[in-house]
């Protein structure tokens, strides 16, 4: 039976096994070498796209795997010729953790296009779309697919309330369409989107915008597969999944049950299930190499913290290690309470990199040292507007208290990158011969310390230590 014949409006699926899958559960350690044996089979499955780059991969590759991050898409492209490649780009933060100047953003996007990235999913932690303007313009100028993403955040258990309600997401989607987005993604990085909220949200988004809609959700709370299904019923065009051994837990819903569920329906993606079973078998055979990175502190595959506090898993483990160091692990419940308060006072930023760390550390300091007795520089920057405009207003009393005595200037209300000087030329002069290509230079600008170290390994100026090389995961 040809499944395709039944398909009226087939769902499209983006595979995330080579990016978010191992980033979410295996600490981003999957090597390019381990991807190659299934690359051709993956190309035959019929995915709409495969996400292979961006997010934390750039960081992990040059720092822990001794791999030149720029090479991975080029190598994979030799084996995957039909399926487009996508990447996750953190707007003005690119694949790093701070805002880079516009000249860096343009150079990065140009090089990413040149090495074979076809689809760019671009988001900003605060959903401040001014922080993705430069990326978007450059992606469009290269004739590539610009997928605008809205970070999904909540203040209560369900969609609604004062800030993150239906009209918030609809208006962000409309703005992205006006910016020229070729598709729009709702990015639920913490896995907190409930199935019926997804149904309501995608039903309304379908009415509001014309471009295809894409759902990225995580399995973290245990709702992921149900959420995908309800989004499919509401007409979502594309969803993200992983192949089973790289799915569930804090990763994405698995692709196989979704295909079985939709088989013979009008949303049947019509994909090659037999190929997926082969691929799954291979991934099972290599997964033990990465297993040491798997969180093994609970038997439960779901994270109760996300259900109770909407604090993403990664953020909880950061807090736990921070508190352990200070010998104050018993204060964790207080810190979890304080996070909600600090987040509100700081204008309700979504809890995603880097805002999750900023809010989390400030909450720890508030609990241990007294409220805003010590203020981190990053928290100060957030209040100064240097990360962009927060979704809600910042508490004026807290702003004054936190900024008192900082000696810094005034807060800004325009696009943060307007205040950044070009970086590329200065880096070129500083690095001299160590950067032989534009890609080398970008590696250094993005990650000054570890990037420079990587270039020394790459060109043999220093030997690569044991344990930092593609064999590390073994
Ligand atoms: Co994700």
Give the DSSP letter string of 286-321. HHHHHGGGS--S-S-SS-HHHHHH---HHHHHHHHH
Is 449 a domain residue? no
Indicate whether 284 and 353 sit together in one domain. no
Ligand 1 center to residue 191 CA distance, Å?
9
> Which range marks the domain in which residue 409 is found?
311-418
Residue 342, pLDDT score: 97
Ligand 1 center to residue 350 CA distance, Å?
14
Is 427 a domain residue? no
Ligand 1 center to residue 242 CA distance, Å?
11
Ligand 1 center to residue 103 CA distance, Å?
27
Indicate whether 75 and 186 sit together in one domain. yes
Ligand 1 center to residue 165 CA distance, Å?
21
Evaluate the CA torsion angle 454, 93, 320, 373 in order and state its sign. positive
Low-confidence spans in the chain with pLDDT less than 70: 1-7, 313, 405-410, 469-474
- The CATH number linked to 355 is 1.10.472
Ligand 1 center to residue 23 CA distance, Å?
8
292-326 b/e (C-beta count within 10 Å ≥ 16 → b): eeeeeeeeeebbebbeebbbbbbbbebbeebbeee
Ligand 1 center to residue 217 CA distance, Å?
7
Residue 407, pLDDT score: 60
Residue that is last in its domain, among 259, 293, 327: 293
Give, as residue ranges, everything with CB less than 5 Å from ion ligand 1. 20, 189
What stretch of H or E contains 109? helix 102-114
Indicate whether 196 and 334 sit together in one domain. no
Task: Indicate the pTM of the whole model.
Answer: 0.94
Indicate whether 283 and 365 sit together in one domain. no
Q: How far apart are CA 308 and CA 1, in angstroms?
A: 46
Q: How far apart are CA 187 and CA 177, in angstroms?
A: 16
What would you report as the CA-atom Rg of the chain, rounded to the nearest whole angstrom? Answer: 22
Q: How far apart are CA 108 and CA 249, in angstroms?
A: 32
Ligand 1 center to residue 112 CA distance, Å?
20
Residue 322, pLDDT score: 87
Is 430 a domain residue? no
Ligand 1 center to residue 11 CA distance, Å?
19
Is 398 a domain residue? yes
How does strand 49-54 pair with strand 119-122? unpaired
Is 459 a domain residue? no
Residue that is last in its domain, among 377, 403, 418: 418
Residue 309, pLDDT score: 78
Residue that is last in its domain, among 293, 319, 347: 293
Indicate whether 286 and 315 sit together in one domain. no
Ligand 1 center to residue 291 CA distance, Å?
20
Ligand 1 center to residue 290 CA distance, Å?
19
Is 423 a domain residue? no
DSSP H stretches of helix in 46-79: 57-60, 71-79
Is 304 a domain residue? no
Instruction: Kindly state the DSSP code that residue 57 receives in the 8-state scheme.
Output: H
Q: How far apart are CA 134 and CA 240, in angstroms?
A: 26
Q: How many structural domains comprise the chain?
A: 2
Indicate whether 343 and 412 sit together in one domain. yes
Burial class (CB in 10 A: 0-12, 13-18, 19+), 175: middle
Burial class (CB in 10 A: 0-12, 13-18, 19+), 167: exposed
Ligand 1 center to residue 314 CA distance, Å?
12
Indicate whether 124 and 258 sit together in one domain. yes
Residue 5, pLDDT score: 47
Is 452 a domain residue? no
Indicate whether 48 and 100 sit together in one domain. yes
Residue 401, pLDDT score: 81
Closest-CA residue to 53 (of 34, 83, 74, 25): 74
Indicate whether 183 and 326 sit together in one domain. no
Ligand 1 center to residue 20 CA distance, Å?
6
Q: How far apart are CA 474 and CA 290, in angstroms?
A: 7
- The CATH number linked to 123 is 3.20.20.70
Indicate whether 282 and 320 sit together in one domain. no
Q: What are the structure tokens assigned to 467, written together?
A: 């344990």
Q: How far apart are CA 324 and CA 342, in angstroms?
A: 21
Ligand 1 center to residue 218 CA distance, Å?
6
Ligand 1 center to residue 407 CA distance, Å?
38
Indicate whether 59 and 140 sit together in one domain. yes
Determine what percent of the chain falls in helix, strand and coil, rounding each to the nearest 5.
55, 10, 40
Indicate whether 351 and 220 sit together in one domain. no
- pLDDT tens-digit map of 112-134: 999 999 999 999 999 999 999 99
Cβ atoms within 10 Å, residue 244: 18
């Amino acid at each position: 039976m040809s499944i395709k014949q039944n398909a009226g409006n087939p769902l499209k699926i983006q595979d995330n096994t080579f990016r978010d899958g191992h980033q979410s559960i295996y600490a981003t350690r999957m090597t390019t070498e381990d991807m190659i044996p299934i690359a051709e089979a993956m190309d035959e499955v019929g995915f709409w796209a495969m996400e292979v780059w961006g997010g934390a991969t750039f960081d992990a590759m040059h720092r822990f795997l001794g791999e030149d991050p720029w090479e991975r898409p080029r190598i994979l492209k030799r084996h995957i010729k039909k399926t487009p490649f996508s990447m996750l780009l953190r707007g003005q933060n690119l694949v790093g953790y701070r805002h880079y100047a516009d000249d860096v953003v343009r150079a990065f996007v140009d090089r990413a296009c040149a090495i074979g990235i076809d689809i760019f999913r671009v988001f900003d932690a605060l959903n401040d779309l001014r922080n993705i303007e430069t990326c978007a313009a450059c992606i469009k100028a290269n004739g590539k697919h610009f997928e605008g993403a809205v970070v999904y955040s909540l203040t209560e258990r369900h969609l609604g309330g004062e800030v993150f309600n239906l009209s918030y997401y609809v208006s962000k989607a409309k703005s992205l369409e006006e910016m020229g987005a070729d598709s729009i993604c709702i990015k639920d990085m913490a896995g907190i989107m409930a199935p019926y909220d997804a149904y309501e949200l995608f039903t309304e988004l379908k009415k509001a915008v014309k471009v295809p809609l894409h759902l990225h959700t995580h399995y973290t709370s245990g709702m992921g597969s149900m959420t995908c299904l309800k989004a499919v019923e509401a007409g979502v065009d594309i969803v993200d999944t992983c192949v089973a051994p790289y799915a569930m837990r804090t990763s994405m819903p698995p692709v196989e049950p979704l295909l079985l569920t939709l088989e013979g329906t009008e949303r049947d993606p019509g994909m090659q299930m037999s190929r997926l079973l082969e691929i799954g078998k291979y991934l099972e055979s290599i997964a033990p190499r990465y297993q040491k990175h798997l969180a093994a502190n609970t038997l439960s595959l779901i994270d109760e913290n996300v259900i109770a506090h909407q604090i993403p898993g990664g953020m909880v483990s950061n807090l736990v290690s921070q508190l352990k160091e200070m010998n104050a692990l018993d204060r964790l419940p207080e810190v979890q309470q304080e996070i909600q308060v600090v987040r509100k006072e700081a204008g309700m930023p979504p809890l995603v990199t880097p805002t999750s760390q900023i809010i989390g550390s400030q909450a720890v300091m508030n609990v241990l040292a007294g409220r805003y007795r010590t203020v981190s520089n990053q928290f100060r920057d957030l209040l100064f507007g240097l990360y962009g405009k927060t979704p809600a207003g910042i508490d004026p009393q807290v702003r004054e208290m936190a900024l008192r005595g900082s000696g810094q200037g005034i807060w800004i209300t325009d696009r943060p990158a307007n205040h950044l000087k070009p970086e590329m030329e200065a880096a070129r002069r500083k690095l001299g011969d160590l950067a032989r290509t534009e890609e080398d230079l970008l590696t250094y600008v993005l990650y000054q310390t570890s990037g420079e170290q990587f270039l020394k390994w790459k060109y043999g100026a220093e030997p690569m230590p044991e344990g930092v090389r593609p064999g590390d995961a073994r």
